Amino acid sequence: MDIPININNCGNESQKDSPNLTATHQQKMTRVERKFVRSLHQKKYRYATGRFLIEGIKPVLEAINAGFPLDKIYTTSVQYHNIPSSSQHLLENIKAKIHFIETADIQYISTLKTPEGLAAIGVIPNHSLPANGLRSPRAIYLWEINDPGNLGTILRTACWFGLREVILSPNSVDVYSPKVARSSMGALFNLFCYQNISLNTLFKLVKLKNYQILAADTSGTKVILPENQPWILVLGNETHGIPQTLKEKATHIIGIPRYGKGDSLNLSVATGILLSQLIQKAKE
């Protein structure tokens, strides 16, 4: 499949130029535009164009509320009128970017069997590691995480506990895949996410500001953190965990005590428990 031309230059020009866009302007998407949006299901086209697909009412509204850069917003006239009145002002503020399309088009461009009727094209931000180290004293490093649902939930959890930065190793799932964007429920738009960060780069980051490396493992124990000590929580691949190199470099190997049966916890569940413990200790 050839890479379609940039979405800013295709289709629905009359809608883009209209300052008083209403749901009566519903139009069928052009073939080129349909092809472009559909191509964003694949990672190679996301990074070739610098764009990604955001699906669902809450994720799209959260992106707007966060001021995240969006090219276009797609909806149907029916769905537009079903959006809660408390959120209508968000759409009114950027109504020039809203394009009313047919239900068949929404279904075609969606990755979902049952689309919610609201989608957007986001601009992939250039989040690169700051030369002088991380922005905050707490962060997460994810080693070869594979499941987009897990990653989305971890982003939500990180945001809930006040973290600002999430770091991903090479061979991790793409943070801008449609499923990650959707399952993060808007958290993605409020975090700095750094991708393809090697272990060597991580170790250099640690030295810059004397971070503790807290490596999560089933063999780990509870840890009492020194007061005001910055840390990076490291979580491993869903199947294989963290590599031996990371264990050897870790300040502490931490874990969650098991009181019942089972051999492991879901990665995103474990992340929530560990962050709760770590943040609580930091506040004590």
Give the N- to C-terminal CA distance of the chain in Å, as an integer: 56
Q: Amino acid identity, residue 257?
A: P
Q: Determine if residue 254 is left, alpha or beta; phi over 0 gives left, psi from -120 to 50 gives alpha, anything else beta.
A: beta
d(CA 146, CA 142): 10
Six-digit token pair at 147? 């499941």
Q: What is the pLDDT of residue 6?
A: 52
Return residue ranges of the chain for CATH 3.40.1280.10.
138-283
For the chain, where do the domains classified as CATH 3.30.1330.30 start and end?
7-123
**Tokens, residue 203:** 């170790």
**7-123 classified as CATH 3.30.1330.30:** yes
Maximum pairwise Cα distance, the chain: 62
* Residues 77 and 106 sit within 8 Å (Cβ to Cβ): no
CA 192/CA 7 separation, integer angstroms: 25
Q: In the prediction, which pLDDT does 249 show? A: 93
pLDDT of residue 282: 64
Predicted confidence pLDDT, tens digits, the chain (284 residues) = 444 445 444 444 434 443 344 545 678 899 999 999 999 999 999 999 999 999 999 999 999 999 999 999 999 988 888 888 888 888 888 888 999 999 999 999 999 999 999 999 999 999 899 888 899 999 999 999 999 999 999 999 999 999 999 999 999 999 999 999 999 999 999 999 999 999 999 999 999 999 999 999 888 887 767 667 899 999 998 888 899 999 999 999 998 888 888 777 899 999 999 999 898 766 65
Report pLDDT for 100. 94
Give the C-alpha separation, 282 to 146, whole Å.
Answer: 30
CATH of 138-283, one of 3.40.1280.10, 3.30.470.20, 3.40.50.720, 3.40.640.10: 3.40.1280.10
